[in-house]
């Protein structure tokens, strides 16, 4: 893929896998994550890779990441935004500070990184943005034992709505905006699940297992690519069939 792509959440899990696949396929990548050292350890260095530490809930970090990408590679064609914070607090444990923190990172962060990328992409009248929501929005998971709770689920519901609003606003300016919606995926984000809970959750999946990060990353890379040139405002579910039916 001969594109220049900004990937957030690139130190771990799905974002790290997207970065590795993009580099393998010939893209130039700016990898962005607050865990800079971990990201550099995982990705190493190459002429096609720029690693930047930053927090998506901070406007200056988002705009700096895009400016640094343009300076280093000369353009920005795509954004895959995976960076997010998790919250397992149940409805009666959730404090306003935690709720606000999760919304700031997951929702405001999605807006800010998309805004920074779209500012550049609209000038070139071409670009593709992929945000990340979650199958938990459909299922309404309730938290506890590492599972997403109301702060996390509501933040991911907001990302879905944000994606559609951005798709409508940016489409006429040549920029596509879509989302990938993973079911439970084997990454550090779900490491807190108990054995019993994992077994119970797998029963919900017709395919009888959780996803591997590559299975989500391939969906994100498709949406990013020109193969999806007539797709915008779409949410791609990749969840082993966990949520279909009544
Ligand atoms: N793993 C799952 O089961 C699952 C299910 C549904 C949706 N998702 C979504 O997929 C995406 C990737 O999750 P993952 O499973 O790879 O998780 P992960 O925990 O492995 O990786 C998340 C990354 O986001 C980074 N991050 C945290 N706060 C950030 C911030 N303020 N700014 C920028 N980056 C930040 C972390 O440092 C980490 O590297 C997330 O948006 C997550 O909500 C994951």
Digit-by-digit pLDDT tens for the chain (246 residues) are 899 999 999 999 999 999 999 999 999 999 999 999 999 999 999 999 999 999 999 999 999 999 999 999 999 999 999 999 999 999 999 999 999 999 999 999 999 999 999 999 999 999 999 999 999 999 899 999 889 999 999 999 999 999 999 999 999 999 999 999 999 999 998 888 888 888 888 888 899 999 999 999 999 999 999 999 999 999 999 999 988 865
Q: For ligand 1, what atom is nearest to the CA of residue 156?
A: 43
For the whole model, what pTM was predicted? 0.98
244 inside domain: no
Chain Cα centroid distance, residue 113: 11
150 inside domain: yes
Q: Nearest residue CA, atom 35 of ligand 1?
A: 83
Residues with CB under 6 A from ligand 1: 8-9, 11-15, 33-35, 55-57, 82-85, 105, 109, 132, 134-135, 182, 184-185, 187-190
- Judged on CB neighbours under 10 Å (0-12, 13-18, 19+), 76 is buried
User: Residue 188: which residues within 8 A CB-CB, separation 6 or more?
Assistant: 12, 13
In the chain, the number of structural domains is 1
Q: For ligand 1, what atom is nearest to the CA of residue 57?
A: 31
Domain boundaries, position 85? 4-238
28 inside domain: yes
Sign of CA dihedral 136, 245, 210, 29: negative
Beta-sheet pairing, 28-33 with 175-182:
unpaired
Q: What's the gap in Å between 9 CA and the centre of ligand 1?
A: 6
Of 69, 152, 167, which Cα lies nearest the Cα of 117? Answer: 69
In angstroms, the CA 158 to CA 162 distance is: 6
Q: What's the gap in Å between 174 CA and the centre of ligand 1?
A: 28
90 inside domain: yes
243 inside domain: no
CATH at residue 225: 3.40.50.720
Of 13, 1, 70, which Cα lies nearest the Cα of 42? Answer: 13
203 inside domain: yes
Q: What's the gap in Å between 153 CA and the centre of ligand 1?
A: 13
């Amino acid at each position: 893929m001969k594109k220049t792509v900004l990937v957030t959440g690139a130190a771990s899990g799905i974002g790290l896998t997207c970065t590795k696949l993009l580099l393998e396929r010939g893209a130039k990548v700016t990898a962005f994550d607050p865990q800079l050292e971990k990201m550099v350890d995982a990705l190493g260095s190459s002429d096609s890779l720029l690693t930047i530490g930053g927090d998506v809930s901070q406007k200056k970090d988002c705009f700096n990441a895009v400016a640094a990408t343009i300076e280093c590679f000369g353009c920005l064609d795509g954004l895959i935004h995976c960076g997010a914070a998790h919250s397992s607090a149940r409805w009666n444990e959730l404090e306003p500070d935690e709720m606000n923190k999760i919304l700031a990172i997951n929702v405001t962060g999605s807006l800010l990184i998309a805004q920074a990328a779209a500012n550049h992409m609209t000038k070139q009248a071409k670009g593709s943005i992929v945000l990340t929501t979650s199958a938990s929005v459909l299922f309404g998971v309730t938290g506890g034992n590492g599972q997403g709770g109301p702060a996390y689920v509501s933040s991911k519901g907001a990302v879905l709505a944000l994606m559609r609003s951005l798709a409508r606003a940016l489409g006429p300016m040549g920029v596509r905006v879509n989302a990938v919606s993973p079911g439970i995926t084997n990454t550090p984000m779900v490491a807190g699940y108990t054995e019993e809970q994992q077994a119970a959750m797998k029963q919900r999946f017709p395919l009888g297992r959780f996803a591997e990060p590559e299975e989500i990353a391939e969906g994100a890379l498709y949406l990013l690519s020109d193969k999806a040139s007539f797709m915008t405002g779409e949410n791609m579910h990749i969840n082993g069939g966990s949520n279909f039916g009544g």
